[in-house]
Structure 1
Amino acid sequence: MPTRKLLGRALALTALAALPAAGFALPSPAVAAAAPAAAAPAVSAASAPQAVAVAVPTSFVDLPSRPLPSDHAPHRITVTYRNPTAADQTVAPQILVESPDDGPFLTPANVKLEVLSGGHWRAVPLGSQTGTLFTTLTSAKLVLHSHHTLTQHYRITVLKASPGTIQPRVALYG
């Protein structure tokens, strides 16, 4: 099982490696505005490319995993995390659905994942890499206040029975 753990942890970093390097090289507009005028290149604001700040998680909190059900019925997954620190913390819940190491590998067509939002179930798109399905972190980020608890409800339905593991986790940002 160590291979699966490494895959899950490396998944976010691998996804970041696919981003263009230019997104990391350009300073954010706030940083550029704070820099001295002598250090800034002579480019007009209208023609300067705008960089998008990409935040990378500093760590993950793995929550209890469980086998992927095979009965084609909806099953609830609850992600719960309490901020134990005295400061606000940026977090993002994430669901990984991992294939067995030796296959068959899952595809997004194998499962339907939904999140409870505003009292309604909303479909969540899944990314896929090397047999691991995952929810994106960028759309799930939120600020969790000191000693508050995040509770996020998901519902998974297996559309095509396959062996696998559901691994919920929470990404922590520095």
Structure 2
Amino acid sequence: MCSVLAPLFYEYEKVDGMVNDIKDEVKSLYEIMKEEKVQELEINSKNYSIFIKRKDRDENNQTIQKKQTIMQDIKEPVVSGETIKTPIVGVFYRSPSPSSPVFINEGDIVDIGKTVCIIEAMKVMNEIKTTFKAKILKVLAENGKPVSSGQDLFEVEKV
């Protein structure tokens, strides 16, 4: 069994002196995998078996950059009429953990910068904070349920 590690990792078994043909096939398969964005490929034939796993650093860096860009694009909660809306898609949580008390209750008056909930997006907990002083009239979203960007979370009255 032989293996090579670079941006490409592959293993092959030498059967009847066919290593050169296999290397050429691996290189051509790898190019196809890059074009089609396939991460792993396994081929078993009567003469040989090939396992290829791409480790493309450029693509990993692009994914990280996309996540960072998404996080930078998250805006302040949108106030529409008398509601606070979520600026992102995710899962709505009223408290920092299942055993913790909720951030706010109906009837509470909250100051500027107070955390009112958490939206979990891409395994990141995003605190949603008020941008004005308000009285919470009604909680409109259900704890632990998905919310869409622009969805009403709280009915409020500016104070």
Q: TM-score, normalised by structure 2?
A: 0.21
- Between 1 and 2, higher relative CO (CA 8 Å, sep ≥ 6) is seen in 1
